Copies of this chain bind each other. A is one copy, B any other.
Amino acid sequence: MPVGTLATVKSLDPRDLTEMGASMILANSYHLHLRPGDDLIREMGGLHKFMGWSGPILTDSGGFQVFSLAKLRKISEEGVEFQSHLDGSRRFFTPESVMQIGRNLGADVVMQFDHVIPGQSEEPAARDASERSIRWLARCLAAFSTDGDAPEQALFPIVQGGIHAGLRRDAADAITSMHEWTGFGIGGLSVGEAKPAMYEMLEVVNDALDRDRPRYLMGVGFPEDLVEAIRRGVDMFDCVAPTRMGRNGAAFSSDGRVNIKRAEFRNDPRPLDEGCDCAACTRFSRAYIRHLFVADEILGLRLLSLHNVHFLLSLTRSAREAIAAGTLDSWSSDWLTRYHSRTATSL
């Protein structure tokens, strides 16, 4: 899922996403509540209409901001008081208020409100946050289910537990016994823990969850992480990396990352990634895109963002084909071997 934090996937047009075959996007409850306001979006006919995107939308709940805005929030059992990063105003987020924001936005999938902690937290802190997240899940479910007039929406629980296998198993068990869920979030990873710990947690959690429901690994989006996670049973991803890196001049490629601002690309007639069929690579050279970045031209941000989003969408399409063909193990091993060998010697 390309990330449209503030009701736009940065530097792209929704039409670009459709053309690239994006099937779902993410938006952010916390940010949209602050600006322009979920009440305004409801008044304007909901998020799909507001941002001109007719495909499914998943809304992240604000749980990640409990982690990323740690200096601007205070946690209690009732919820989290944030000090707005925009104007300093105080906003109290609770499981119930987050469900109301999801309703106002009209998201297709609403993530539960959860308590995200740093990736290397010790067991007691991880247990506390995981158990609170499960109690908040019960409150989300109760709030979510009471609105008879509601549009058709799915609530996804989020498995927490840090890097502690026992906590992860306990969380998965508690969640699966609470309700028949449409899908599952896996949270609290890619927040500072070591990669092997992340992969181990994915194996533990995916073993414990229903195999016939989508599992969504939250906030993970580098190519190699996607492939490692797909091998371990993950179905859905989101990450700001493709657009953020694109705005900084970095392109994914099958030969590793390309920093387009480097002088060596000044007169390079090749596309960003040879063989790529995106709307940037089929029309423009590295020399041109480098020129756009050097001259601070907005089209450069758009072209690299287009390419990077397309790169990840293509990668997940390839993975789906490998799954359908029963060749995921060999496909992913080959892909990772190639990617790491090229990256080690790359640009």
Contact = CB atoms under 8 A, between A and B. Distances in A.
Name A's interface SS: loop
A299 B50 CA distance: 13
A301 B298 contact: yes
A345 B265 CA distance: 53
Contacts of A292: 8
Contact of A267 (B7, B13, B43, B284): B43
B44 A297 contact: no
A18 to B, nearest CB: 12
B287 A8 contact: no
Contacts of A299: 8, 10-13
B40 A287 contact: yes
B283 A52 contact: yes
A8 to B, nearest CB: 5
A89 to B, nearest CB: 16
Contacts of A40: 266-267, 287
Contact of A269 (B7, B12, B45, B269): B45
A7 B266 CA distance: 15
A204 B143 CA distance: 75
A288 interface: yes
A267 B6 contact: no
Interface in A12-39: 12-15, 35-36
A297 B3 CA distance: 13
A27 to B, nearest CB: 12
Contacts of A287: 36, 40, 44, 50
Contacts of A44: 267, 269, 285, 287-288
A291 B36 contact: yes
A97 to B, nearest CB: 21
Interface string A194-212: 0000000000000000000
A295 interface: yes
A294 interface: yes
A302 interface: yes
A129 interface: no
A25 to B, nearest CB: 13
Contacts of A50: 285, 287-288, 291
A51 interface: yes
A345 to B, nearest CB: 27
A284 B7 CA distance: 12
A6 B50 CA distance: 33
Given A40-B267, A266-B40, A267-B44, A298 B302 contact: yes
8 contacts: A7-B291, A10-B298, A13-B302, A36-B291, A40-B266, A44-B267, A44-B288, A52-B283
Given A44-B267, A44-B285, A50-B287, 8 more contacts: A6-B297, A8-B297, A10-B298, A10-B299, A35-B295, A36-B294, A43-B267, A51-B288
In order of increasing CB-CB distance, the 8 nearest A-B pairs are: A36-B291, A11-B298, A52-B283, A8-B299, A6-B295, A8-B297, A44-B287, A50-B288
